């Protein structure tokens, strides 16, 4: 039997399990030790494993991811916490020029088993640098894997898989879900598969593709549509890079219709990549144009506007009706 955990508690449990199982796993970032992280995801780890494995870093985001890249090439498995995704911008040079290229640069002689953790998206009524959703920019960098859990159990299993992976993983945690719900999580050390979508709900009339916090709106929309006799399949992408298009294509070939839902801005988003892939390989199966329900092409809003920015259940339901009514 497992425990009822929130998503942030599941992250902490996975970190503790990884550190217990492998002495080479180290955690570093701003305030991860004494404070236990800004969202308390690392609370208690320094007391359990010592400050030589849970290291508080100065406010120098580029420096400490560079340190982690070096550690990873010397046999360690560093897990770096960024307090917010918006603080990742200074680290992109290290990720794009070094972490992502280590395997090819050394012709496989070195790898970079590094995990970057960052709370992302809105939901805590914070200023704009604390509410970023630029996962598409990171996914565009070859050599990086990008993973986004949508529930406590997925956070636990996917984070363990990310830590055990031999190559760099950016692990984005939707903070809107950090304490939104409890789910049974068994701390058995079993990882979930990376690079694979999860079908959260089966359906026959249309496919909804989403990830992270927007799984909440997608599932709520599917419930609403079911009341109208419409059967919607809901797919949680989970790993947005590399994309498991096989699962998405199989679903769309059965339903003929697709709605993509994500919090990030519309232009250049991962939803556009999925839509393009459907056009490449599933065009003859589509009975209607692929529709996207997204955030807006705007700087992430301050807290008083946040509720206007998110894709809502109503917007998802309206999009579903549009693709279903397409002649």
Q: Which residues are catalytic?
A: 130
Question: For residue 234, what are the β-bridge partners?
Answer: 201, 208
Torsion of CA 281, 282, 283, 289, to 10 degrees: -130
13 Rama class: left (phi>0) / alpha (psi -120 to 50) / beta: alpha
121 Rama class: left (phi>0) / alpha (psi -120 to 50) / beta: left
Contact 290, 207 (CB under 8 A): no
- Which among 135, 120, 320 is positioned nearest to 209, based on CA atoms? 320
Contact 203, 234 (CB under 8 A): yes
What is residue 112's DSSP assignment?
-
Torsion of CA 89, 93, 95, 97, to 10 degrees: 160
- Which among 170, 202, 207 is positioned nearest to 290, based on CA atoms? 207
CA–CA gap between residue 129 and residue 125 (Å, rounded): 11
CA–CA gap between residue 47 and residue 101 (Å, rounded): 35
For strands 239-241 and 291-295, give the pairing: unpaired
CA–CA gap between residue 99 and residue 94 (Å, rounded): 6
Angle ∠(218,211,142) on CA atoms, nearest 5: 155
Neighbours of 237 (CB within 10 A): 28
CA–CA gap between residue 61 and residue 55 (Å, rounded): 14
């Amino acid at each position: 039997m497992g425990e009822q955990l929130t998503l942030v508690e599941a992250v902490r449990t996975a970190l503790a399990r990884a550190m217990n199982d492998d002495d080479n796993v180290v955690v570093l970032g701003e305030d991860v030790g004494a404070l236990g992280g800004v969202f308390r995801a690392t609370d208690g780890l320094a007391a359990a494993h010592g400050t030589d494995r849970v290291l508080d870093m100065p406010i120098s985001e580029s420096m400490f991811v560079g340190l982690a890249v070096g550690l990873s090439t010397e046999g360690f498995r560093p897990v770096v916490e960024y307090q917010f995704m918006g603080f990742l911008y200074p680290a992109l040079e290290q990720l794009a020029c070094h972490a992502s290229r280590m395997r090819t640069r050394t012709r496989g002689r070195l790898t970079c088993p590094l995990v970057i953790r960052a709370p992302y998206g809105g939901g805590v009524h914070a200023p704009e640098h604390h509410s970023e959703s630029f996962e598409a920019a990171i996914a565009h960098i070859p050599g990086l894997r990008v993973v986004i859990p949508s529930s406590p159990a997925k956070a636990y299993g996917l984070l363990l898989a990310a830590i055990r992976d031999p190559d760099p993983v950016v692990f984005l945690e939707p903070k809107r879900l950090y304490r939104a719900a409890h789910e049974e999580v068994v701390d058995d050390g079993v990882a979930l598969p990376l690079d694979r979508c999860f079908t959260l709900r089966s359906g026959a009339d249309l496919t909804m593709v989403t990830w992270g916090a927007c799984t909440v709106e997608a599932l709520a929309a599917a419930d609403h549509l079911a009341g109208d006799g419409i059967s919607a399949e809901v797919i949680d992408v989970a790993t947005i890079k590399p994309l498991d298009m096989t699962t998405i294509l199989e679903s769309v070939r059965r339903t003929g219709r697709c709605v993509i839902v994500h919090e990030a801005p519309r232009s250049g988003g991962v939803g556009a990549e999925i839509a393009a892939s459907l056009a490449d390989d599933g065009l003859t199966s589509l009975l209607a144009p692929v529709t996207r329900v997204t955030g807006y092409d705007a700087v992430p809003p301050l807290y008083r506007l946040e509720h206007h920015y998110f894709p809502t259940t109503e917007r998802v339901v309206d999009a579903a009706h549009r693709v279903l009514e397409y002649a």
